[in-house]
Amino acid sequence: MITLTHYIVLSALLFAIGLIGVMRRQNLLTLFFATEILLNSVNIGLVAASKYLGNIDGQIFAFFIIAIAAAEVAVGLGLLILLYKRKGSLDLNVIKNMNG
């Protein structure tokens, strides 16, 4: 039987993986994916807690997080493509030294 603890441990592991990805931040694309992993780990925790508490509030919050993440993907990938076309790289050190 899968309990709330299993979901919380899974959520914590995914959050740790996403946090490590954000801390390493060598490439904008990996930073972008790590942020998505962080958001999905929070969604797992919210939905699991909502199910076990018997209310729907966590599921509603998860739905809004998914909607915000979809908007982030649309805008973020567009910006990443534009940066790659202009600079030829998604390395943060190259982009940090941009002028004008």
Q: What is the largest CA-CA distance in the chain?
A: 58
The pLDDT of residue 91 is: 84
Greatest mean pLDDT among 6-15, 31-40, 90-99 lies in 6-15
d(CA 97, CA 87): 11
CATH fold, domain 4-90, is Helix Hairpins (1.10.287)
Average pLDDT over residues 61-69: 94
100 has pLDDT over 60: no
Question: Which residue has better confidence, 72 or 48?
Answer: 48
The pLDDT of residue 25 is: 79
Handedness of CA 4, 6, 9, 13 (dihedral sign): negative
| Tokens read off for 99 | 């002028």
94 has pLDDT over 80: no
CA distances from 50 to 11, 26, 46, 60, 95 (A): 14, 36, 6, 9, 41
CA distances from 3 to 30, 47, 48, 51 (A): 32, 13, 9, 11
Q: Delimit the domains of the chain by residue range.
A: 4-90
pLDDT band at 99 (very low <50, low <70, confident <90, very high): low
pLDDT, tens digit, 9 for 90 and up, residues 12-63: 999 999 999 999 878 888 888 999 999 999 999 999 999 999 999 999 999 9
